[in-house]
Structure 1
């Protein structure tokens, strides 16, 4: 590493690759999400006040539709025939197999996703300039300079997209610039990697033909395709069919934590070759060597993965993908305000100001620019 800098320097702006605050607002503040986020306190790990306190300058805000809890999945059969997925696998396997949660049907996923994106539109309007939905890299940089929260619309799990991809056009017009084809469950576009430890990510058949069609459509629109939650076969299918940098928004190093959700050295080599990017996930079970949530865990677990990923990818291809409001954080982080502890720990580990700025926000903005174009 390069020379150390004083830990008391001003906050380094952080642009983060993943959060689930929209899910928290949907579940707990649906009547007035603008007030909950802008005025606080919102439940969960982040709202505007805490973001400002932490130096959180923006990030990818995910529309993630939670898995339904009802036991009867038969009504979801209408989404299956054109999907390329075996009906018995989707309707029986997901319901009975311990590795997967139920998959939302198209109608409910569409409605919830539109609702969550409407939250962002309302938050932006009510913020009087404090929050900006960004559609290109220049807008992100300008927002960070203006100290406005730079928000990028992201979909995690494409259950809200129809087989003809009509809704992809609609979501793009709303501001969508990033999409993960799957969460850790199957849908018409492919199979997410189930949460398993210890396990390789090579569990599952990857993308369907519709999934490959979605990847190519995203390339045409310059929408970023997020590799986090894809199984390994799906990863290599994206690598084969995509002409964009390979990006995993919130994943870690499999060598350090043998979670199925983490990336092998071979996958990291492919990401490096594409001039892609990995955002470190802050969830304890994706960080620790034992795969467990522990009262003894600290932000040093994150530093360990940053070190490893910088070694494998270079200092210009690594950043953060916290998964705030979607994971259990280390006890010393608590919520978004723990970012200051992480930045201090990286300084202590030897990262200088320039490299810190790259990891904290510039690398993310640069890979989005490489993906989206000017």
Structure 2
């Protein structure tokens, strides 16, 4: 079984919402979501980026987002910004769950590629602590150093909701990622400080001007952990060919998002039979980025995924499909994990 190192998952959100059941959810599985230890082992899921995302809660919002995203065109309102004082306890709780997972002796929080390789060699899940949205980092950036001290090695300045650092894209179809202003001055300081600490910067969810700002400032490879091709599905969340060219020029990479809403050419969130939309995106990314700059960024436990994958246990079916699609084993191994380790070595200075 070819091991898979994955660019993005939201498993920690399930633990945050069900802390009393976390032992069952993690070690045994409760039949929900996409991830748990048994299904990871069954599918060859060797590790990946575990996201700390701060949920938006509006008890008065009764919008049926699933229905809207199944009937394009749509343009969903973004939640209001969340301040650091609200976000920091939530981030600490999620990190606490990840540290508890490490204490079960089934997972390692990795701070280097050597840590990732060692975990994979011993059968432990290799986890990178990632912030999907930087709300838990205050304007003075002091908290960035605190989080780095406990293992933070990857930061996305925004999850589509705006922050003091920049602006994300709304969930809109059809729609261009050119949706507004770029990074704030505080956001530009964040990028420079991440560079200094060798923290990877994630471009997924950023709007086009924010993407351009990071490309101009950052001295690290440009990376989008869970994004797809705009030329195939014209969603605001997907990357244009111009953006893909900039990522290629920086020798960065893109992780293919399994979300059906970002794969379906018509922008619907509904699942689909077979593999064609996923393969169209993967072929396009390989054409524009090259074989060493494409990986997987499933977004497990954060999106609806194709029926053919189902959950982490379905990853071997994806590998077999890539073989049938005339990808050779060397290319599949690069996509499955080698490209992630390569770009992390460059980003983290190893």
Task: Give the TM-score range, shorter chain.
Answer: over 0.9
Which residue is equivalent to 1:31? Answer: 20
Which residue is equivalent to 1:41? Answer: 30
1:81-96 pair list within 5 angstroms? none
Is 1:55 equivalent to 2:44 in the alignment?
A: yes
Distance 1:291 1:297, change over 3 A: farther
Is 1:69 equivalent to 2:58 in the alignment?
A: yes
1:350 CA displacement: 0.7
Which residue is equivalent to 1:144? Answer: 120
* Aligned match for 2:290, one of 293, 304, 314: 314
TM-score (norm 1): 0.87
SS in 1 for 2:221: coil
Is 1:116 equivalent to 2:94 in the alignment?
A: yes
Equivalent pair of 1:38/1:47 in contact (CA under 8 Å): yes
SS in 1 for 2:135: helix
Deviations 1:237-293 (A, max 9, x none): 000000000000000000000000100000000000000000000001101110113
Which residue is equivalent to 2:83? Answer: 105
Equivalent pair of 2:128/2:152 in contact (CA under 8 Å): yes
* Aligned match for 1:19, one of 1, 9, 34: 9
Q: Which structure 2 segments of 5+ residues have no match?
A: 62-74
Which residue is equivalent to 1:325? Answer: 301
SS in 2 for 1:200: coil
Which residue is equivalent to 1:89? Answer: none
Which residue is equivalent to 1:94? Answer: none
Is 1:159 equivalent to 2:140 in the alignment?
A: no
* Aligned match for 2:278, one of 302, 320, 325: 302
1:71 CA displacement: 5.5
CA distance in 2 between partners of 1:220 and 1:239 (Å): 16
CA distance in 2 between partners of 1:40 and 1:65 (Å): 23
Is 1:291 equivalent to 2:281 in the alignment?
A: no
CA distance in 2 between partners of 1:228 and 1:171 (Å): 20
CA distance in 2 between partners of 1:199 and 1:63 (Å): 27
SS in 2 for 1:279: strand
1:24 CA displacement: 1.3
CA distance in 2 between partners of 1:58 and 1:42 (Å): 20
1:165-244 pair list within 5 angstroms? 165-244=141-220
Is 1:370 equivalent to 2:341 in the alignment?
A: no
Equivalent pair of 1:284/1:297 in contact (CA under 8 Å): no
Deviations 1:13-56 (A, max 9, x none): 000000000011111x2125244212323631100110000000
CA distance in 2 between partners of 1:15 and 1:298 (Å): 23
1:342 CA displacement: 1.1
SS in 1 for 2:16: helix
CA distance in 1 between partners of 2:333 and 2:34 (Å): 23
CA distance in 2 between partners of 1:166 and 1:120 (Å): 22
Equivalent pair of 1:299/1:341 in contact (CA under 8 Å): no
Question: Which one has a bigger Cα radius of gyration?
Answer: 1
CA distance in 1 between partners of 2:321 and 2:120 (Å): 23
SS in 2 for 1:338: helix
CA distance in 2 between partners of 1:70 and 1:104 (Å): 15
Deviating beyond 4 angstroms after TM superposition, the runs of 4 or more aligned structure 1 residues are none
Alignment RMSD (CA, Å): 1.5
Distance 1:255 1:370, change over 3 A: same
TM-score (norm 2): 0.93
Q: Which structure 1 segments of 5+ residues have no match?
A: 1-10, 73-96
